[in-house]
């Protein structure tokens, strides 16, 4: 990898300048909605009629919203550059490391 001079990063959490030669930590992940469905199998008392009505209601609900809205809600990949201090904050928040 060719080393480029003058490339600097800002910590995405605190805004601290991460100069060349200082450690930079990348926090990458994704948040997405694990929709647990309508629980049709667990709900045998529910008539197929009411299930169909529920599905139609959901479809109407979804049609009202823009595609972008739905994308954001369903899937949010992210990539953050962090300084050491903020990496430690993330560790603590996620309880990956106790101190």
In b/e form, how buried is each residue of 26-61, taking b as 16+ CB within 10 angstroms? Answer: eeeeeeeeeeeeeeeeeeeeeeeeeeeeeeeeeeee
Examine residue 86 and tell whether it contacts Zn ion (CB under 5 A): yes
Stretch that binds Zn ion, among 6-14, 43-51, 68-76, 90-98 (CB under 5 A): 6-14
By C-beta, is 16 or 91 nearer to Zn ion? Answer: 16
Examine residue 10 and tell whether it contacts Zn ion (CB under 5 A): no
Examine residue 14 and tell whether it contacts Zn ion (CB under 5 A): yes
Binding site for Zn ion (CB under 5 A): 11, 13-14, 16, 83, 86
């Amino acid at each position: 990898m060719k080393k480029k001079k003058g490339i600097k990063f800002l910590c995405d959490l605190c805004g601290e300048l991460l100069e060349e030669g200082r450690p930079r930590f990348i926090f990458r992940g994704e948040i997405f909605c694990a929709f647990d469905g309508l629980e049709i199998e667990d709900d045998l008392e529910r008539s197929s009629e009411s299930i169909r009505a529920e599905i139609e209601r959901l479809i109407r609900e979804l049609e009202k919203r823009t595609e972008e809205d739905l994308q954001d809600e369903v899937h949010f990949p992210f990539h953050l550059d962090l300084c050491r201090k903020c990496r430690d904050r993330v560790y603590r928040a996620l309880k990956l490391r106790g101190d």
